[in-house]
Amino acid sequence: MFLWIMRIILFLPCMIMHPTRLKGKKNLPKGKAILCCNHVSNWDAILFNLRICQKPRFLAKKELFKGKLKAAFMRGIGAFPIDRQANDISAIKNCMKYLKEGKKLFIFPEGTRLVNEEEILGEIKGGLSLIAIKTQTPIVPIWVKAKPKLFRNSVYYIGKPYELSDFYGKKLDEQTLAEADKIVREKMLEVRENNLPKKKEK
């Protein structure tokens, strides 16, 4: 209930200040899924969540939960904390729990915002692949066109879901997860490539 109240309070002001469009919503599967998105601002998950009805949960750095009011706000918009400086087992367990309950999980596989604007996509961390394989969950690649700015459209391109099924039942060592991460990266960049403006023929 609190999650819905926060969504209602935030929806109108956010959509006025940061108008947001989702392209490819038909690619969102019913039931559990990992929504895998590049990370350009602190608004990424919030703006996306406000535009869909399925209320995906998402990870946020634990520093954003300092203070009772901030913590209540973050949990109200669907976030739960992760310690980025440590191997946060409890956060991974929470991810798996939500997926086993049939919920959707919004994850930034880079783990942090991309600071260097010359880079297209940062390093993919092994956490997403591990969770997807362990829970046998489909992954939906998403690409944010640009960092949100006031009164400018933010566009999220949603690609077709896929599974890391070739890795099911395998021993998930460092090399195996690196191979899975490579696929995650390729799928994200594929969504970006498919939605770049087409060059005009001379």
pTM (two decimals): 0.84
Over 80: is that where the pLDDT of 115 sits? no
Interior angle at CA 128, CA 127 and CA 134, nearest 5:
90
Per-residue confidence at 58, pLDDT binned at 50, 70, 90?
A: confident
pLDDT > 90 in the chain, percent: 40
Sheet of 154-158: strands edge to edge? 20-23, 154-158, 139-144, 33-37, 104-107, 57-61, 79-82
Query: Tell me, what's the pLDDT at 146?
Result: 75
**pLDDT at residue 126, as a whole number:** 65
Residue that the structure tokens 């969540």 belong to: 49
| Selection from 66, 166, 156 nearest residue 108 by Cα | 156
Rounded-to-integer distance, Cα 48 and Cα 56, Å: 9
Using alpha carbons only, give the angle 128, 19, 67 rounded to the nearest 5 degrees: 60
Does residue 49 surpass a pLDDT of 80? no
Closest among 84, 107, 83 to 95, alpha carbons compared: 107
Give phi and psi for 111, each to the nearest 5: 85, -20
Question: Structural domain boundaries of the chain?
Answer: 2-10+33-194
What is the pLDDT averaged over residues 58-84? Answer: 81
pLDDT score, position 161? 97
Q: For 177-189, what is the mean pLDDT?
A: 95
Contact of 96 with 58, CB cutoff 8 Å = no
* SS3 of the chain: helix, strand, coil, percent, to 5: 40, 15, 40
Domain 2-10+33-194 class in CATH: alpha beta
From CA 112, how far away is CA 61, in angstroms rounded? 9
How confident is the model at residue 19, as a pLDDT?
76
Q: Which two tokens stand for residue 125?
A: 């961390």
pLDDT of 192 above 60:
yes
pLDDT of residue 135 exceeding 70, the answer is: yes
Annotate 100-154 with DSSP letters as a single string: HTT-EEEE-TTSS----TT-SS-PPPHHHHHHHHHHT--EEEEEE-S---TTS-E
